[in-house]
Chains A and B, each alone.
Chain A
Amino acid sequence: GDSVTQMEGPVTLSEEAFLTINCTYTATGYPSLFWYVQYPGEGLQLLLKATKADDKGSNKGFEATYRKETTSFHLEKGSVQVSDSAVYFCAVTGANSKLTFGKGITLSVRP
């Protein structure tokens, strides 16, 4: 079945630092790739997505590029803010529409 592997956390950064969160996947068919975010006390919300190879998803300064050759979808941001502190989940849909999530990684950004 489909699977997602995320780098181990938690991650603690200082404000304005560069962020990379690694994500690799295995999936059948032509997978779509997603990053979801959960801010403290809130539900899951879509951060960005890419639906075909070489697509770049972007939102709120975050970016991720769908790399089919390395089966990866790493999340990056050039300058993190305290307000980016949250749990980040990488997810994939393979041959069907059900999402398969990674374990999530907690990001804490200190002022």
Chain B
Amino acid sequence: GAGVSQSPRYKVTKRGQDVALRCDPISGHVSLYWYRQALGQGPEFLTYFNYEAQQDKSGLPNDRFSAERPEGSISTLTIQRTEQRDSAMYRCASSLAAGSPTDTQYFGPGTRLTVL
């Protein structure tokens, strides 16, 4: 079946603009995660959902970042008033079980965000 998809794959924006990044998880997967990866580093956790409920947003860097998953499937990560330091690869992952530490997370291809 289809894997995790993300759109857009590449986004170039000007400083101060808002951006919305979309993630479509594997069908039937309960948990959805967002990570951010800087060049030369491993991904860092941002937030995650079980169904439509946001379980943990401790990794969101500041209040310009928000995420939602209103119907328990597709999720949107929104960054308001973008800054150059927001430039990174944003990765989404999904897993079958609800917040299980042993469950495999399946990653999408990522969205490369560049803020000019």
Q: How far is the CB of B23 from chain A (nearest CB, A)?
A: 12
B103 within 8 A of partner (CB): yes
Are B107 and A104 in touch, CB under 8 angstroms?
no
Interface size on B, residues (CB 8 A): 27
Query: Is chain B's binding surface mostly helix, strand, loop or mixed?
Result: loop
Are A99 and B105 in touch, CB under 8 angstroms?
yes
Which A residues touch B109, using CB under 8 A? 42-43
Are A97 and B42 in touch, CB under 8 angstroms?
no
| B5-22 to A contact mask, C-beta < 8 Å, 1/0 | 000000000000000000
Q: How far is the CB of B7 from chain A (nearest CB, A)?
A: 14
Interface size on A, residues (CB 8 A): 28
Choice from B41, B59, B104, B110 contacting A104 with Cβ under 8 Å: B41
Q: How far is the CB of A30 from chain B (nearest CB, A)?
A: 8
Are B110 and A43 in touch, CB under 8 angstroms?
yes
Specify the chain B residue showing the minimal Cβ separation from A98: B45
Choice from B56, B93, B101 contacting A29 with Cβ under 8 Å: B101
| B95-108 to A contact mask, C-beta < 8 Å, 1/0 | 10001111111111
Please measure, in the bound complex, the distance between the C-alpha atom of A30 and the C-alpha atom of B102, giving whole angstroms: 10
Which A residues touch B103, using CB under 8 A? 97
Specify the chain B residue showing the minimal Cβ separation from A50: B102
A-B pairs with lowest CB-CB distance, top 9: A101-B42, A93-B101, A44-B107, A51-B102, A98-B45, A43-B109, A97-B99, A32-B102, A97-B101
